Amino acid sequence: MKKIILDCDTGLDDAVAIINAVADKDIDLIGITTVAGNVNLKYTTRNTLDILYSIGREDIGVYMGEKKPLKKELHTAEDFHGESGIGDLILERSPVSCKNIHATEFMAKTIVENPGEIIIAAVGPLTNVASLLIKYPQIKKDIRGITVMGGSLSGGNVTSFAEFNIYADPEAAQVVFSSEVPVTMIGLDATMRAKFQKNDLDFLREKNTKWSSMTVEIFDSMFRIRDSHGKDFVVLHDSIALIASTETELFTFENHPILISTEGEKRGETKVHKSGQRTKVAVGFDSEGFKRYMKDILGNTEG
**Which active-site residues does the annotation give?**
237
Burial of 245 (0-12, 13-18, 19+ CB in 10 A): middle
Task: Please state at what angle helix 12-23 crosses helix 210-228, rounded to 10 degrees.
Answer: 160
Q: What is the CB neighbour count within 10 angstroms for residue 174?
A: 21
Closest CA to 169 of 49, 72, 53, 51: 72
The Cα–Cα gap between 127 and 112 comes to 20
The Cα–Cα gap between 268 and 257 comes to 16
Question: Residue 209, Cα to own-chain centre: how many angstroms?
Answer: 24
Instruction: Please report, for residues 65, 195, 224, the alpha-carbon distance to residue 231 in angstroms, rounded to integers and kept in the order given.
Output: 33, 11, 10
Closest CA to 253 of 301, 302, 286, 297: 286
84, 120 in Cβ contact below 8 A?
no
| Exposure on the CB side of residue 57, measured as CA atoms within 13 A | 22
49, 87 in Cβ contact below 8 A?
no
The Cα–Cα gap between 104 and 269 comes to 25
The Cα–Cα gap between 200 and 247 comes to 20
